[in-house]
Amino acid sequence: MDAAGGKPNSKNATVSDVKTGETISFTRLDDAMPWPVGREALASPHIPGFAPFDELSRYELKVVNLKASKYAIAIDGISIGTFSNAELANGINLSAQASPAMHEGEKLFNAILAKNSLYHLLWYDVKIGQLPDWVPLEAVAEARAAKVKALEADLEKAEATLDSLRQPQAHRWTLTPAP
């Protein structure tokens, strides 16, 4: 984005409602969500030779022609951090920042884990789960069929939840001059 003219130059996102002046604000709707990064992975950038956020996820902001030397960035009113004019002009990757997009990604990631647990339960514990030799299959066939039906219904609901969580949301970004 060019702060002087307020013209967005977005890639993989739609930027609208741009307001320029001392404070700059805009609404951003990404074409896709950033890669969901679990909180436990936030230490991984400190592993020598491993740059997951550079290689796997790009959630970038680049703003040129800024007047102040530093800017505090907030997304939907949540502070993301303070960055220099030079950092913003070069572009910053906010994948590891605790942004609303990261929280959305966490919700998606957790929903994926929950769905996968249901799938595991369905297959390993119910469909191919082994009964002791002394239990006749006929004795559990009806209960097994009912459990399969219930778990398949739960999986359909979980997939619908994932479909909903996968949709990118619009967020209001604000850049405010910082001391």
**Distances from the Cα of 92 to the Cαs of 76, 95, 130, 159, 163, in angstroms?**
18, 9, 53, 33, 29
Cβ–Cβ < 8 Å for 16, 27: yes
Q: How far apart are the first and last CA of the chain?
A: 22
Q: For each of the chain's 179 residues, which pLDDT tens digit applies?
A: 899 888 888 888 999 999 999 999 999 999 988 776 666 666 666 677 776 666 677 788 999 999 999 999 999 999 999 999 999 999 998 877 778 888 888 899 899 999 999 999 999 989 888 888 888 888 888 899 999 999 999 999 999 999 999 999 999 999 999 99
What's the total number of domains in the chain? 2
112 in the same domain as 44: no
Do the domain assignments include residue 6? no
**Residue span of the structural domain in which 74 resides:** 13-97+168-177
pLDDT at position 54: 67
**Distances from the Cα of 158 to the Cαs of 44, 108, 109, 119, 166, in angstroms?**
29, 11, 12, 10, 12
20 in the same domain as 90: yes
pLDDT at position 49: 75
pLDDT at position 34: 76
161 in the same domain as 106: yes
106 in the same domain as 87: no
Do the domain assignments include residue 113? yes
172 in the same domain as 120: no
109 in the same domain as 93: no
Q: By C-alpha distance, which of 109, 116, 105, 107 is closest to 32?
A: 105
SS3 89: helix
Question: CA 22, CA 136: separation in Å to the nearest integer?
Answer: 77
172 in the same domain as 87: yes
Long-range contacts of 16-22 (CB under 8 A, 24+ apart): 22/67, 22/68, 22/176, 22/177
Do the domain assignments include residue 37? yes
